[in-house]
Amino acid sequence: MKDEVALLATVTLLGVLLQAYFSLKVISARRTFRVSPPLTTGPPEFERVYRAQVNCSEYFPVFLATLWVAGIFFHEGLAAGPGRIPRSPGVPEPVRSPDSARPPGAAALCGLLYLLARLRYFQGYSCSAQRRLAPLYASARVLWLLVALAALGLLAHFFPTALRASLLGRLRTLLPRA
């Protein structure tokens, strides 16, 4: 079980550390621009750093929820092991050792891309409001991809086993490495 969620847990911890970094940057900006708590207004340079941190914090719960749901449920039909969904007739099982269950890599990779885009967003917004836009759009695309993976995973989870096996068999013919 732990091996199957280790990547998700790693990305989650990296996300928490990134949020802590953003908070430290706000503390530093408060000192630099002499904006004492609880004030949230000050020079534009401070307000950009503050807004960047707040915007990243607002999306963090959505990111975490979609990361874990996508990682667990989208991966569910692709993992090796006791709960594996049977393949369609005529599609051979790949040869794997018993301990070679694949971790939920698609969701973890999306999570890393999201965190990288959010870091670039924070850095861009801290410099100028205009420089936040490209990373903002990139992080939104990755977040929507996570939402889609989570939704597909949950939808597949509730399909009858035969229908799920048939759909996965068709998917495997389109994506041979899946």
- Report the C-alpha gap between 43 and 37 in whole angstroms: 14
Q: Is 31 a catalytic residue?
A: yes
Compute CA 5 distance to the chain's CA centroid, rounded to the nearest angstrom.
13
- Report the C-alpha gap between 167 and 151 in whole angstroms: 15
Catalytic residue among 31, 84, 96, 170: 31
For residue 18, which phi and psi values (nearest 5 degrees)? -65, -40
Q: Is 120 a catalytic residue?
A: no
- Residue 149 makes CB contacts below 8 A (sequence gap 6+) with 66, 70, 74, 106, 107, 110
Catalytic residue among 30, 132, 170, 172: 132
Q: Secondary structure of 9-37 in the HEC alphabet?
A: HHHHHHHHHHHHHHHHHHHHHHHHHCCCC
Give catalytic residues, as residue numbers. Answer: 31, 132
